[in-house]
Structure 1
Amino acid sequence: MTQASFRRFDESRREEWALIDSHFRAYQADASRRVLVHLERLRGDHHGYPVDRYEHCLQTATRALRAGANEEMVVCALLHDIGDDLSPANHAEIAAGILEPFIDPLNTWMIRHHELFQGYHYRHFFGLDPHARDAYRDHPAFERTVRFCDEWDQTSFDKDYDTLPLDAFVPMVERVLARTPFDGLPELVD
């Protein structure tokens, strides 16, 4: 059998789910390649910024790595804006959703909220409160999100920065996205 034959789940059989599960696990194992292909789509996408979104992501990851961040944080820095290609208005939510199964929940929160926290540096130009992030001051991920935005993300628009190439980060992405999602996929049971 190479494909399930049910038309509805309530018509399915165990062997069909075993087949689907094996395909799902193989597809899941290829997540890092697909994510990196998507990251490449940010090349040439400037939106008026001094560097394109791809370069910005590489710079953010380079700064995090050089600051001694752990591998997971470096991967978060690299992929934090990956949702820009699909939906700039909620790009942070998309990036958080992609990484959530593989990373610490506090890092997921950081990515999900980085846009608001980043606003500390520019919201006033739009007549908005730059201190809006302070509403989360008591959240356990507040300080890491401030550091991420203030030290790495908002500083990564420098055309002259000595940015590392993507190849420097590929092994890290592969290791992080090779983790078992949400600390374990259940096995098919009898």
Structure 2
Amino acid sequence: MKKVKFTQMKDGTKEDYLLLEKHEKKFIEETPSRILKYMSSLTSTLEGYQVSRLEHSLQSATRALQDKAEDEMIVAALLHDIGDELAFHNHSEFAAAVLKPYVSEKTHWIVE
């Protein structure tokens, strides 16, 4: 894979930044796949709960779907606890930050 020539951002050339833009575009397009892969790892949970984080997330999304919620709310329900493993005390802000570029302000606020 081709790499940039610089070690400090200030030394980057137009070609370097065009290369990074190309790689970043591909990386961004793969975001849904990375999120779903991460979600599949949420099979463990804190002690004491009846269901895993994955099961809870799927239950939440299923309930939103059955309630005929809009697609972005179903996705928000699925991902609302995505930050539990990495940011337990502020997992809702974590999930809201992940969703922010893709959802309405209202949905972002609900998750946050």
Q: TM-score, normalised by structure 1?
A: 0.57
Q: Deviations over 1:142-190 (max 9, x none)?
A: xxxxxxxxxxxxxxxxxxxxxxxxxxxxxxxxxxxxxxxxxxxxxxxxx
Q: Structure 2: give runs of 5+ residues left out of the alignment.
A: none
* Number of aligned residues: 112
In structure 2, what is the Cα distance between the partners aligned to 1:73 and 1:4? 39
Is the CA contact (8 Å cut-off) linking 1:41 and 1:85 kept in structure 2?
no
Return the offset for 1:51: 1.1
In structure 2, what is the Cα distance between the partners aligned to 1:50 and 1:7? 49
Tell me which amino acid in the other structure corresponds to 2:36.
L
Tell me which amino acid in the other structure corresponds to 1:24.
E
In structure 2, what is the Cα distance between the partners aligned to 1:22 and 1:96? 26
Pairwise CA RMSD: 1.3
Residues 91, 47 of structure 1: alpha-carbon distance in 2 compared, 3 angstrom cutoff: farther
Bigger Cα Rg:
1
Q: Structure 1: give runs of 5+ residues left out of the alignment.
A: 113-190
| Residue aligning to 2:5 | 5
Q: Deviations over 1:72-129 (max 9, x none)?
A: 10000000000011121111111111111111111111101xxxxxxxxxxxxxxxxx
Q: TM-score, normalised by structure 2?
A: 0.94
Residues 8, 44 of structure 1: alpha-carbon distance in 2 compared, 3 angstrom cutoff: closer
Does the residue aligned with 1:84 lie in a helix, a strand or coil? coil
Return the offset for 1:46: 4.3
Where relative contact order (Cα < 8 A, 6+ residues apart) is larger, the structure is 1
Identity %: 38
| Residue aligning to 2:51 | 51
